[in-house]
Structure 1
């Protein structure tokens, strides 16, 4: 049952990205271009997502356990350290340069745009490389698992 609900959640998320235009890197890049062709619509999408998340968590925390799992699995790391800041910076630079973050990149794949066809393999190589560097003794966040 969990895989089905996971698939349906991902499907709703992907449809939301397409409907909101977030799978279009030009929309994201226009949001970041505050001195040029600034498009504030991404801020409204993010605000809507934040409000929905807030309401969802308020409802979820009323339960003693999730519907499809034994318990809530929460991150244990609370400190802001170099690996966290480095990862956030790499993510932000990649998002700013490519106009994609991982979810919208996957939803844009059927369009076969050259930017998507470069971004997705580069992202997958980066994920693979990061997991192998972690296994080679590079620092990780405490409490993080593979």
Structure 2
């Protein structure tokens, strides 16, 4: 049942990305072009997503359980540190250059967009490089 719930949630998420245009890098880059032909429509998508998630998140934070009754583990770290700032800057730079972030890129790969496949491969390489770096620093 857990896998079916995850599959359904992923399908709804992917469909929402396609319908909203967030899987279209041209639309995303238009949103990020604040001083050119700015397209504010993705801001409305983000506001809608925050609005849709607000009440369920309040409930989860109070109950500590999902709608299926399973325990939910929320991130405990709330400190802003250099690692978070650097990661955010790299994420934003990648989003601004490619027009993709991870979720929409995976949806776009499923839609057969070759530039999305290149992005996902580069993203996976970056994740692997970070794991290697992190292990060396931690050791």
Q: Shared fold by TM > 0.5?
A: yes
Say yes or no: does 1:86 pair with 2:105: no
- 1:107 — aligned with what? 107
Say yes or no: does 1:37 pair with 2:7: no
Say yes or no: does 1:26 pair with 2:15: no
Residues 4-83 of structure 1 correspond to what in structure 2 (within 5 A)? 4-68=4-68, 70-83=70-83
- Which range moves more in the overlay, 24-33 or 51-60? 51-60
Unaligned runs of at least 5 residues, structure 2 = none
Unaligned runs of at least 5 residues, structure 1 = 140-146
Distance of 1:3 and 1:136 partners within structure 2:
35
Distance of 1:42 and 1:84 partners within structure 2:
24
Distance of 1:99 and 1:62 partners within structure 2:
36
1:92-137 deviation line (CA, Å, top 9, x unaligned): 0000000000000011113433421321110111111112222222
Residues 121-136 of structure 1 correspond to what in structure 2 (within 5 A)? 121-136=121-136
CA distance 1:52–1:132, change in 2 (3 Å): same
Distance of 1:88 and 1:138 partners within structure 2:
21
* Corresponding residue SS for 1:39: coil
Distance of 1:132 and 1:70 partners within structure 2:
33
Q: Once the 2 structures are TM-superposed, how far is the Cα of residue 48 of structure 1 from its aligned partner?
A: 0.2
- Pick 1 or 2: higher relative contact order, CA cutoff 8 A, min separation 6: 1
Distance of 1:137 and 1:108 partners within structure 2:
34
The alignment's C-alpha RMSD in Å is: 1.9
TM-score, normalising length: structure 2: 0.89
TM-score, normalising length: structure 1: 0.85
CA distance 1:74–1:110, change in 2 (3 Å): closer
* Corresponding residue SS for 2:137: coil
Q: Once the 2 structures are TM-superposed, how far is the Cα of residue 78 of structure 1 from its aligned partner?
A: 1.7
Alignment length (residue pairs): 139
Q: Which has the higher helix share?
A: 2
